[in-house]
Structure 1
């Protein structure tokens, strides 16, 4: 064979393969597209009520009086204004040289960094991964309990702190255990991806989903937590039962495995699985403290008076009503306490906190970029125009249909922007006011949005959680789609049912 006919090296071929762009690139393209649309979409605005929300039917076109230079400047500084943009009370424009109320994403940005520091410190103590490892080993002879235990723990972690990428570290432990118990690799994939994924889908206080969306929608994080808790219980139970059904089916008839069997898969024994090191006293205390931190966060953000007595009730004396500044400070303090209790020492604690900031600054930048798009739209006064164009559509639908429509519309957006934080920051400024026109709580729009994001991220080929997990488990993507397809349909129907229920009890 001649030299011109030889195949290119595998590395070179792989490097030339097209990959779907990252969330940063997608948001950059959207920024340019939205900026271009400001020259086409006419400016306009709504009258606002006492709560600062648009009054239905009050829209009118205005003269924005923005030159090309002004708009070019807005594009240039949009990421900066997205972070700390300040709104001029006279002109309504957002920019660093004005005075007025904070308008940017700085509170959410710092909150994400603080949560990242807390998660990084927690893993550095070895408490969480060793605790899960000990649980898995203890249940190694009880296959059903192993699958249920792993999925429930991952679902709880997903709903409170967006536990997703962290699951990649558990494949080396859980895959051998499931194989040793007579199940296949797909069972392990289902337990890990679907366990954590359904928790994120039903986020209750997940700072990267519920927290970011609540900030963008201008509602407390605790609003709508009752419906989300009900969804978490029901959808997690359904997902666990689905994985158990598949696992039992494969164990009874190995030929029905969707992932197939590799050499050595059916030759291991659960009794031969290595015993993880026991938790030290420090790690046990750190594990309990982590659980306490998230429980206290839930307590701090719930508006207890309105939950117990109704939306018009006054606050109780012990009701904290915490928001991003307080929660950020709480996670920073909790990071220090967890690190000290976990035995990291002064240098270890500070190092891991800084490392956590670095690991999660990417998620924060996605929020900043998405908020920059909102700033461009607001400065050009086209946000209300877009809202007005959707007002007529919403006005003619029932609240149940509206909630389901929000869910469906956000599914393709979740594919384009797999980052939950970026997706929330981009979609909520438009979606949340629509809820006012449709007569439903803004919290229900948040629930519909995060359900769409979580549903899509169970299969999105743009996420490391799915593709990285499948690579670690050595399971083909097409086979995973065959496995998860029926469950996706079931979850779709259940989500729509809960959204309709949410409009009925609102």
Structure 2
């Protein structure tokens, strides 16, 4: 995304011969590591079982691994089997050179990778149409004029709302849509793309990690662990308040520095795209019935999405269709009212341009999923390297003192989230092992669940395998390398505080 400009003393720009490798190169390097692991670690598998638990009076079932069933795969000679990945595989197999394509086409419409990629393209196209009407640009001008002198309030208010969304209903992918609108507003206010990512997607993950009621992480993990579902809420609510406050203060500290000196921004060079957009001035801007209808369409869609997720458990296919409907209606309004002299051809071209913006992030999502495929995939019943790593980690933690075991559970869940970013998926794989392991080492199962949710949620802030993160970075025009150079401090702060929370919970007998 670098346009060749080199702002003076900008930490987000190259200041020497060495430059942060492109995200695709970093993912390629991780893929090489995954390839090497298939020659070092034998493949193993678990058997699965079905468990039943109750959430708010409703009985639910989930298939989880049997922690006592692990066994290494054996060849015909009785020797442990290594799923060594070759350079290339035919017939739809996964070789090293197959991993980008196989990652891109893996999964289903319900999730990573193909479902998430299509979701990104549709939502990008829909908002491309909305932005083409010019309503959002004009609305931003009027919002800034109405709130002049109170711009700093945007950060704590938005961070709190998005964090609450992550805590209550697992908001994540939905943040991408908001980031498309908020990014130009933030740049107009004197902030940057990094600030936009912080108050949207990162805020949702802070709420997700410290949630007391998230149905996709806390409820699932507690049900699997045999802990009363949604119990221990008082401590988690306190953690949510604390972590949200830390996120707000960290974001405001960074944003204040960027506002004082824009070249301190880690996304200064890529923010040029937004800075170069002609915004005009309030005196010459229009606002008519067409603009009101477009704005109402966007607001109604957001309400519709939240209602669908909370009430009907809608996910990627439904949400994508909701946003496509928004783009279609906004386009028809734009043509009828001649907003920016729009024609039907403009609606089509702006949809394609909006989708094209998402393509770089979509490629990264597919390649990241390909790494998991190199390790054998995430199926517990299939012999894979990942299952062997999971079993070895459990055995290692089981031999540690109590406090250290609790902390290592957090560390393990944080690392494991790189490979399995789905909260419910990670719970199904890890909690059947961590829960009985907690009993053996003297850690309460409630603490084991806490270690899971904090490790799972917070690392979504930085891992390039997180599809919503890459999508949000894409719409905000922030390179992952620049993001990593900024976010590692915040990630370290979250991990230190999470460590204190888990160890403190253990010492005080949180149950």
TM-score if structure 2 supplies the norm length? 0.58
- Counterpart contact for 2:45–2:70, Cα < 8 Å: yes
1:63 paired residue number: 74
The match for 2:386 among 383, 392, 410 is 383
- Do structure 1's residue 328 and structure 2's residue 317 form an aligned pair? yes
- Do structure 1's residue 235 and structure 2's residue 217 form an aligned pair? no
Deviation string, structure 1 residues 443-495 (Cα, Å, up to 9, x no partner) = 973552331232789xx9xx97999779xxxxxx99x89xx96x777655554
How many residues of Structure 1 are paired with residues of Structure 2 in the alignment?
402
SS in 2 for 1:50: strand
TM-superposed deviation, 1:368 = 3.0
| Residues 269-418 of structure 1 mapped to structure 2, 5 A cutoff | 274-275=281-282, 278=287, 280-300=291-311, 320-322=312-314, 324=315, 327-341=316-330, 343-345=333-335, 346-378=344-376, 381-396=384-399, 405=408, 408=411
- Do structure 1's residue 434 and structure 2's residue 435 form an aligned pair? no
SS in 1 for 2:323: helix
- Counterpart contact for 1:436–1:442, Cα < 8 Å: no
TM-score if structure 1 supplies the norm length? 0.58
SS in 2 for 1:53: strand
Q: Structure 1 residues 258, 110: closer, same or farther in 2, change over 3 A?
A: closer
2:188 paired residue number: 173
Q: Structure 1 residues 40, 257: closer, same or farther in 2, change over 3 A?
A: closer
- Do structure 1's residue 451 and structure 2's residue 458 form an aligned pair? yes
In structure 2, the gaps of 5 or more residues are 7-13, 52-62, 266-279, 336-343, 377-381, 436-444
In structure 1, the gaps of 5 or more residues are 1-8, 86-102, 176-184, 261-272, 301-319, 415-419, 471-476
The 2-side partners of 1:37 and 1:396 are apart by 24
1:4 paired residue number: none
Larger proportion of helix: 1
Q: Structure 1 residues 199, 104: closer, same or farther in 2, change over 3 A?
A: same
Deviation string, structure 1 residues 207-233 (Cα, Å, up to 9, x no partner) = xxx99999xx9x99xx98989987665
TM-superposed deviation, 1:387 = 1.8
Q: Structure 1 residues 148, 450: closer, same or farther in 2, change over 3 A?
A: closer
| Residues 217-236 of structure 1 mapped to structure 2, 5 A cutoff | 234-236=242-244
- Counterpart contact for 2:217–2:424, Cα < 8 Å: yes
- Do structure 1's residue 17 and structure 2's residue 17 form an aligned pair? yes
- Counterpart contact for 2:179–2:197, Cα < 8 Å: no
TM-superposed deviation, 1:391 = 1.4
- Counterpart contact for 2:217–2:427, Cα < 8 Å: no
The 1-side partners of 2:295 and 2:422 are apart by 40
1:27 paired residue number: 27
TM-superposed deviation, 1:388 = 1.7
